[in-house]
Structure 1
Amino acid sequence: MLEDLRCVCDAPGCKRALGETQLMLRMETPAGERRAYECACGAVTVTVVR
């Protein structure tokens, strides 16, 4: 269910979809996987996947 959620940029005025082409960094921790995306607008979004 949660795997179906789409990641979007949350910068003011931007709602671009973020995906593998914007994925910059992936890091595993005991709390889950962290993913950092850089949007074309220059904003960086970090998500946590458990």
Structure 2
Amino acid sequence: MLENLTSTCEAAGCDRPLDDDALMLTLRTEAGGRRAYECACGAVTVTVVRP
């Protein structure tokens, strides 16, 4: 359900979508996943995805 939401960069002055075009690193653990997105503006956003 939540994996279908579109995240956006929350850096000052930026509102770009964090989608497949953004650089994304994924770390999977038993508790779920952590995704780190690097926006074109240089900001990094981390999200948590639970199974």
TM-score class, shorter: 0.7 to 0.9
| Aligned residue pairs, count | 50
CA deviations 1:5-32 (Å, max 9, x no partner) are 1111010111100112213310101221
Identity score, percent: 66
Name segments (4+ residues, structure 1) moved above 6 Å.
none
What residue is the counterpart of 1:22 in the other structure? 22
- TM-score where L is the length of structure 1: 0.84
Q: TM-score, normalised by structure 2?
A: 0.82
* CA root-mean-square deviation: 1.2
Where does the alignment leave 5 or more consecutive residues of structure 2 unmatched? none
Q: Any unmatched runs of 5+ in structure 1?
A: none
